[in-house]
C-alpha cells in the first residue's frame, strides 16, 4: 500500500480556508468565520495537527467542535475532504479563482461571473483592460485599476516565496550537503544569501572534486519531487513544496568568484563587472582575469575579488546596486546591525488575544533566545476578530505580568504593552489613562486601508501626537505577495516620527517585513529610530526576528538605530515618558 504523505499544518489549514471561501460564496453565514478561525489556529499551532488528531486532542484547538474535528480527521486520514469537493462542484466555473485576487470577495466574484460571464483570472484581466467593469454597479475606474494591480500581485505570488518560509528549507539542504564526504565548502547564494524578502528560487554553491557524487546525493534528498536539469556543474530540482533549488558545483580555485557571481544581484554584478572592464580585466563566475596576460587576479575567495577591485567586502544584504559599491570604495559602508545584537522583542502576542501561548510560555521561549525582555502587546478591544482586550482585561493582564516579574529572579523582564488600533480619525482605541500605565504602546492601522493618501497620512500623524504612543506598528500595512501597502506619505510620516520621538516598527513577520528595506533606509535618513518586532503569535514565531534584522541590514541600519539592541535600562530612553 502506498503510504499517505503526511500533510503539514499549513496544508490542512489551506483546505479549511478554501471551505470557508466557498461557504461564503454560497452566502452561508457564520460558518465561514468558524472555519477560518480554526484554520488560523492550526497555522499557529506549535504541534503537528496530525499528532493532535491521533491522540484525540483536536478539541483542544480553539473553536473546534465535533463537526470540524470530523472534517480535520478526514483530511488527515485520506488527504482530501469530500465536503470541499462537493462545494467546489456547486460553483460556476472559475469563480473561486477570482476570489484569490485581493479586493474581490466571494460576492463580487459571483456577480462578475453572472454579469459578464467571467470564468477566471484571464477573463477578468481582459474585461478590466477593456473597461467593461467600470460601469457595473458598485465598481468604477478605480476598481478596474485595483483589479489589474491585484492580478499582477497574484501572478507574482505564484512564482515567488517568502524568505521566512524558504530559509529553513534552504539551510536544511545546505547542511545535508555539507555533511557529505564528497563536499568541501558549501554556501547559500542568490537572493536567499542576500536575504531578499521574497525568493524566486534557491541557489546553492558547493566545491567538490567528485561532482557526480554530489549531484547524485542532491537529487536523492528527501523532498525532491522532480529533476529539471542534471549535469556535473549545475543541477536543478523542484521540491514537493514547489520550490526550485539550483545547485552549482565548482572546484576550490573558483569558489570565491562563483560565490560572488551567484550571490548577485544581477545589477550589483553588472556594476562590478564595469569596474573590471575599466582596468582591462574580465570578471565572471570563474574569476577575475587580466586580459593583457591571462593571469588570474582573484577567484579563490570572495574577499579577494572585492579587494582586487579596491573595494571593501560588501555584506550580501547590500548587494543591490543601491550605492554600496561607491561606499565600499570610500570605506563608507554602514556598520550594519548584527543578527546577534537583538536584546528583546517589542511586539509579542499571547493567548490573551489571538496568540497560541501563555505569557509565561512566551517568556520561556524568549529566555531561550537569550533575550533580556519582551513586550506583551496583545490587541486592544476594537479588533474583534483577534479577541482584543478590554481595558479591564488589560488591567488583569498587567497584574499577571507584574506577578510573573516579581517571581522571576534571573534579570529577564516582561514589559506590559498593547497593540492598539488607530481608528479612521487617528484616535487610539484605549483611554489615555490606560495607555499611561503601559511600558510599550504599539499603535497600528488594522482597518480602513482604502482611505485617500492625505487622510491616511493625517490619521497616522494624529496617532503619533498621542504622547503615549511609542511605536507605529507595520507602518504601511502591506502583506507580501497579497496586499499592497495602503496609500501614505511616508516621508512626511517619517519626519513627524523623528520630531516626536516615535519609533517606527520593522515588523519581522515573514509576510509583512514592514517597513521594507527601502522604506527603512529612507526613514533613517529622515532621522527616524526603529523598533524590531516579531509580531509572534506563538513561541516559534519569536524566531522571525531574524527576518526583521535582515530587513534592517538591507536598509543600511546600524544597531544604534534600533531601540531593542539596547539594554532594558537604555531602552527606556527610546520610549516616550
Ligand atoms: P530570485 O531567484 O529571483 O529571487 O533572485 P536571484 O538573485 O537569486 O536570481 P537567480 O536565481 O536568477 O540568479 C542567481 C544569481 O546569479 C543572481 O543573483 C546573479 C547571478 N546571475 C544570474 N543571471 C545573471 C546574468 O544574466 N548576469 C549576471 N551578471 N548575473 C547573473
Ligand atoms: Ca535565486
Ligand atoms: Ca537560480
Ligand atoms: Zn498588527
Contacts for 475 with CB less than 8 Å, ≥ 6 apart:
460, 488, 490, 493, 504, 505, 514, 515, 519
Q: 184 C-alpha to center of ligand 4: Å?
A: 44
- How far apart, in whole angstroms, are the C-alpha atoms of residue 116 and residue 102? 19
Ligand 1 pocket mutation pick from 269, 302, 316 by most atoms within 8 angstroms of CB: 269
- Strand 224-230, strand 234-239: pairing: antiparallel
What is the model's pTM? Answer: 0.81
CA distances from 132 to 104, 107, 124, 383, 462 (A): 16, 18, 10, 37, 40
Give backbone dihedrals phi and psi of 523, rounded to 5 degrees, phi first. Answer: -65, -40
Stretch 507-530: mean pLDDT, rounded?
98
Q: pLDDT per residue over 187-241, tens digit each?
A: 999 999 999 999 999 999 999 999 999 999 999 999 998 999 999 999 999 998 8
Under a CB-based contact definition with an 8 Å cutoff, are residues 557 and 550 in contact? no
Cell 462537493 sits on residue: 86
- How far apart, in whole angstroms, are the C-alpha atoms of residue 85 and residue 13? 16
Q: pLDDT per residue over 456-484, tens digit each?
A: 999 999 999 999 999 999 999 999 988 89
Strand order from edge to edge, sheet including 244-250: 186-189, 202-207, 244-250, 234-239, 224-230
Q: 419 C-alpha to center of ligand 4: Å?
A: 7
- How far apart, in whole angstroms, are the C-alpha atoms of residue 227 and residue 19? 33
Q: How confident is the model at residue 3 (pLDDT cuts 50, 70, 90)?
A: very low
Under a CB-based contact definition with an 8 Å cutoff, are residues 521 and 324 in contact? no
Chain center to CA of 434: 31
Q: How confident is the model at residue 382 (pLDDT cuts 50, 70, 90)?
A: confident
Where does ligand 1 bind, in terms of residues with CB under 6 Å? Answer: 190-191, 196, 199-201, 203, 261-262, 264-266, 269-270
The per-residue pLDDT for 286 is: 96
- 357's grid cell: 501561548
pLDDT surpasses 70 at 549: yes
Ligand 1 pocket mutation pick from 166, 190, 195, 265 by most atoms within 8 angstroms of CB: 190
- 518's grid cell: 527601502
Q: How confident is the model at residue 2 (pLDDT cuts 50, 70, 90)?
A: very low
Amino acid at each position: 500500500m502506498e503510504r499517505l504523505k503526511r500533510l503539514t499544518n499549513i496544508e490542512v489549514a489551506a483546505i479549511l480556508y478554501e471551505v470557508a471561501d466557498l461557504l461564503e460564496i454560497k452566502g452561508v453565514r457564520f460558518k465561514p468565520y468558524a472555519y477560518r478561525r480554526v484554520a488560523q489556529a492550526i497555522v499557529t499551532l506549535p504541534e503537528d495537527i496530525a499528532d493532535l488528531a491521533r491522540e484525540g486532542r483536536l478539541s483542544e484547538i480553539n473553536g473546534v467542535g465535533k463537526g470540524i474535528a470530523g472534517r480535520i480527521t478526514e483530511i488527515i486520514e485520506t488527504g482530501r475532504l469530500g465536503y470541499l469537493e462537493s462545494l467546489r462542484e456547486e460553483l460556476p466555473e472559475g469563480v473561486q479563482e477570482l476570489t484569490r485576487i485581493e479586493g474581490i470577495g466571494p460576492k463580487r466574484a459571483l456577480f462578475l461571473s453572472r454579469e459578464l460571464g467571467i470564468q477566471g483570472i484571464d477573463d477578468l484581466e481582459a474585461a478590466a483592460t477593456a473597461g467593461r467593469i467600470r460601469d457595473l454597479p458598485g465598481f468604477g475606474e478605480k476598481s478596474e485599476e485595483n483589479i489589474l494591480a491585484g492580478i499582477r500581485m497574484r501572478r507574482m505570488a505564484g512564482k515567488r516565496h517568502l524568505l521566512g518560509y524558504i530559509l529553513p528549507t534552504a539551510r536544511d539542504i545546505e547542511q545535508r550537503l555539507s555533511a557529505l564526504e564528497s563536499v568541501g565548502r558549501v554556501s547559500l547564494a542568490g537572493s536567499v544569501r542576500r536575504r531578499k524578502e521574497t525568493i524566486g528560487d534557491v541557489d546553492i554553491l558547493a566545491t567538490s572534486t567528485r561532482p557526480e557524487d554530489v549531484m547524485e546525493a542532491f537529487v536523492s534528498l528527501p523532498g525532491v519531487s522532480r529533476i529539471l536539469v542534471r549535469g556535473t556543474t549545475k543541477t536543478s530540482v523542484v521540491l514537493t513544496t514547489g520550490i526550485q533549488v539550483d545547485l552549482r558545483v565548482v572546484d576550490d580555485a573558483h569558489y570565491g568568484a562563483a560565490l560572488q557571481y551567484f550571490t548577485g544581484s544581477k545589477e550589483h554584478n553588472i556594476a562590478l563587472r564595469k569596474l573590471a572592464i575599466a582596468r582591462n580585466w574580465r570578471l565572471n563566475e570563474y574569476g577575475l582575469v587580466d586580459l593583457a596576460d591571462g593571469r588570474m587576479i582573484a577567484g579563490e575567495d570572495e574577499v579577494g575579488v572585492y579587494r582586487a577591485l579596491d573595494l571593501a567586502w560588501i555584506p550580501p544584504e547590500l548587494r543591490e546596486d543601491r550605492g554600496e559599491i561607491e561606499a565600499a570604495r570610500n570605506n563608507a559602508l554602514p556598520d550594519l546591525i548584527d543578527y546577534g545584537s537583538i536584546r528583546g522583542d517589542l511586539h509579542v502576542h499571547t493567548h490573551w488575544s489571538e496568540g497560541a501561548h501563555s505569557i509565561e510560555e512566551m517568556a520561556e521561549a524568549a529566555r531561550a533566545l537569550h533575550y533580556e525582555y519582551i513586550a506583551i502587546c496583545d490587541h486592544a478591544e476594537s479588533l474583534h476578530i483577534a479577541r482584543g482586550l478590554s481595558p479591564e482585561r488589560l488591567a488583569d493582564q498587567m497584574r499577571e505580568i507584574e506577578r510573573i516579574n516579581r517571581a522571576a529572579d534571573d534579570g529577564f523582564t516582561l514589559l506590559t504593552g498593547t497593540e492598539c488600533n488607530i481608528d479612521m480619525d487617528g484616535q487610539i482605541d484605549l483611554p489615555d489613562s490606560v495607555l499611561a500605565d503601559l511600558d510599550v504602546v504599539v499603535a497600528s492601522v488594522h482597518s480602513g486601508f482604502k482611505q485617500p493618501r492625505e487622510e491616511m497620512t493625517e490619521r497616522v500623524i494624529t496617532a503619533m501626537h498621542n504622547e503615549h504612543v511609542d511605536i507605529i506598528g507595520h507602518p504601511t500595512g502591506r502583506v507580501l505577495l497579497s496586499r499592497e501597502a495602503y496609500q501614505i506619505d511616508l516621508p512626511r510620516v517619517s519626519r513627524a516620527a523623528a520630531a516626536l520621538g516615535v519609533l517606527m516598527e520593522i515588523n519581522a513577520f515573514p509576510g509583512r517585513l514592514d517597513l521594507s528595506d527601502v522604506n527603512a533606509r529612507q526613514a533613517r535618513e529622515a532621522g527616524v529610530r526603529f523598533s524590531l518586532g516579531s509580531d509572534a503569535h506563538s513561541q516559534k514565531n519569536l524566531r522571525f526576528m531574524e527576518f526583521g534584522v535582515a530587513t534592517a541590514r538591507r536598509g543600511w541600519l546600524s544597531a544604534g538605530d534600533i531601540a531593542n539592541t539596547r539594554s532594558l535600562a537604555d531602552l527606556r530612553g527610546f520610549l516616550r515618558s
